[in-house]
């Protein structure tokens, strides 16, 4: 038992140190962005027109809140497009009400073809901006999100960026688990930017330069996760030496947490299946000696992505660290783990915007139970990965994947 505890403790330490390294690199990126913004204040800032595209399928319960958050944003140079992908609920009626409220709102109704088709329809037929921002119909924008996004794209080398996504109003145990998971994953993305090895510009708040997006033909239709596939598609075409795939920490969007474990597994199954499918589809990028790609990306980042997926299989062992420590009355191990997670939270929250010092202190108080909280998503990822293996075999065999909408209860 002592040997098992030692192994689990070492695994926990490595996991925490990995997060701390990500936070370190993320903070380096934050300082670099700060210096850039200081320089930008001394010159005239380019005002990009941002086209916000919201694909919607049966989103009658959330679409109004999402649109209101964008329309009330402080940045005026924008265009808002909603593509109703053949919804069968009251989405069309809700959009009609929103059109009466916001005359400049662009509403597109199409037959049900899937999220990728809805995004491509907007991109090639309605988008008039320099930057295209994709927002989920159940996500909200912070009041100055678009203004910060405009500042990020002052760097002419940026091809695409992901935003800082936070879970809105967590209450249940499963929702708090997602809150902390999103918090750490955001810094994980930020930590990859200084080395320019990020390859997932995904989810709500993903933004792209429109000319480059059109040049690659927009989104792939037959892929389970259109965002990951598009990111690799852009890197495949343009490379990551001359172009930057970044992270906009100050650009904050909020997403609703998943309320039920079964639904969370359903969500993560699509994410994990889509990631593996996209990596297989663009496997030619791995160990690629082309001058378009950096060595770190082709020879380190992508191979380690597969190792990271395999690592999900041993992730649940982290769950037992605190439990075993308490069962064995090993209080030193328990408090050691709590201290590590406390340091991890402290460094993660240090430069996190729009969180008060008081709220940061309250979040750090979660440290003793953070291992248990994160074990929820660890188990979910484990189950989702196992379930995705069969889907991957089928998709590779027939040469395409299922790209239908995949809603979860929120």
Q: Which CATH number fits domain 45-262: 2.20.25.90, 3.90.550.10, 3.30.565.10, 3.20.20.140?
A: 3.90.550.10
pLDDT at 185 over 80: yes
- pLDDT (mean) for 244-260: 92
Structure tokens belonging to residue 37: 């913004």
Share above pLDDT 90 across residues of the chain, in percent, rounded to a whole number: 48
Instruction: Give the C-alpha separation, 97 to 76, whole Å.
Output: 22
Q: What's the whole-number average pLDDT of the chain?
A: 84
Out of 32-46, 110-124, 126-140, pick the least confident: 32-46
Q: How many other CB atoms are there within 10 angstroms of residue 153's CB atom?
A: 21
Question: What is residue 222's predicted lDDT score, i.e. its pLDDT?
Answer: 80
329's torsion region: left (phi>0), alpha (psi -120 to 50) or beta? left
Question: What is residue 369's predicted lDDT score, i.e. its pLDDT?
Answer: 78
Looking at per-residue pLDDT, the higher value among 6 and 225 belongs to 225
pLDDT at 192 over 70: yes
Looking at per-residue pLDDT, the higher value among 20 and 259 belongs to 259
Question: What is residue 18's predicted lDDT score, i.e. its pLDDT?
Answer: 64
- pLDDT (mean) for 261-268: 92
Residue 151 CB contacts under 8 Å (≥ 6 apart), including other chains: 37, 40, 45, 250
pLDDT at 271 over 70: yes
Domain boundaries defined on the chain? 45-262
Looking at per-residue pLDDT, the higher value among 403 and 150 belongs to 150
Out of 82-96, 140-154, 334-348, 359-373, pick the least confident: 334-348
Share above pLDDT 70 across residues of the chain, in percent, rounded to a whole number: 80
pLDDT at 310 over 80: no
Question: What is residue 159's predicted lDDT score, i.e. its pLDDT?
Answer: 96
Residue 98 CB contacts under 8 Å (≥ 6 apart), including other chains: 63, 64, 67, 82, 105, 107
User: Alpha-carbon Rg of the chain, whole angstroms?
Assistant: 21
- pLDDT (mean) for 377-397: 79
Phi, psi of 174 (to 5 degrees): -65, -30
Residue 243 banded pLDDT, cuts 50, 70, 90: very high
Question: What is residue 387's predicted lDDT score, i.e. its pLDDT?
Answer: 87
Residue 38 banded pLDDT, cuts 50, 70, 90: very low
**Residues 191-218: b if buried by 16+ CB within 10 A, e if exposed:** bbbebbbbbbbbbbbbbbbbeebeeeeb
Maximum Cα–Cα distance across the chain = 68
Question: What is residue 25's predicted lDDT score, i.e. its pLDDT?
Answer: 62
Out of 16-25, 46-55, 237-246, pick the least confident: 16-25
Question: What is residue 312's predicted lDDT score, i.e. its pLDDT?
Answer: 77
Question: What is residue 349's predicted lDDT score, i.e. its pLDDT?
Answer: 85
- pLDDT (mean) for 119-135: 97
Question: What is residue 1's predicted lDDT score, i.e. its pLDDT?
Answer: 52
């Amino acid at each position: 038992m002592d040997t098992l505890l030692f192994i689990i403790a070492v695994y926990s330490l490595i996991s925490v140190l990995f997060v701390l390294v990500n936070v370190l690199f993320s903070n380096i990126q934050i300082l670099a962005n700060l210096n850039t913004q200081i320089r930008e204040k001394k010159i005239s800032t380019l005002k990009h027109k941002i086209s916000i595209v919201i694909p919607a399928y049966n989103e009658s319960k959330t679409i109004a809140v999402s649109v209101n958050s964008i329309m009330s944003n402080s940045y005026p140079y924008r265009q808002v497009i909603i593509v109703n992908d053949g919804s069968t609920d009251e989405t069309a009626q809700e959009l009609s009400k929103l059109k009466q409220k916001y005359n400049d709102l662009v509403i597109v109704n199409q037959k049900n073809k899937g999220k990728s088709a809805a995004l491509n329809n907007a991109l090639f037929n309605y988008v008039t901006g320099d930057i295209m921002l994709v927002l989920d119909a159940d996500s909200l924008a912070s009041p100055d999100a678009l203004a910060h996004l405009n500042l990020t794209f002052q760097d002419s080398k940026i091809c695409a960026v992901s935003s800082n996504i936070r879970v809105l109003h967590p209450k249940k145990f499963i929702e708090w688990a997602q809150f902390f998971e999103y918090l750490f994953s955001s810094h994980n993305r930020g930590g990859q930017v200084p080395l320019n090895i990020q390859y997932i510009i995904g989810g709500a708040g993903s933004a792209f330069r429109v000319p480059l997006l059109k040049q690659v033909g927009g989104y792939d239709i037959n892929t389970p996760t259109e965002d990951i596939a598009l990111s690799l598609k852009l890197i495949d075409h343009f490379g990551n030496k001359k172009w930057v795939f970044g992270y906009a920490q100050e650009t904050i969007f909020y997403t609703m947490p998943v309320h039920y474990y079964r639904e969370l597994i359903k969500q993560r199954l699509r994410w994990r299946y889509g990631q593996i499918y996209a990596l297989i589809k663009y496997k030619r990028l791995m160990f690629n000696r082309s001058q378009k790609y950096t060595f770190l990306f082709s020879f380190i980042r992508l191979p380690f992505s597969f190792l990271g997926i395999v690592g999900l299989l041993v992730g649940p062992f982290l769950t037992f660290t605190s439990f075993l420590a308490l069962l064995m009355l090993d209080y030193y191990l328990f408090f050691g783990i709590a201290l590590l997670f406390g340091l991890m939270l402290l460094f993660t929250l240090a430069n996190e915007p729009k969180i008060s010092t008081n709220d940061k202190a309250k979040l750090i108080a979660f440290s003793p139970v953070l291992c248990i909280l994160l074990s929820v998503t660890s188990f979910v990822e484990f189950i989702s990965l196992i379930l995705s293996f069969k889907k991957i075999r089928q998709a590779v065999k027939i040469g395409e994947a299922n790209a239908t909408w995949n809603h979860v209860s929120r």
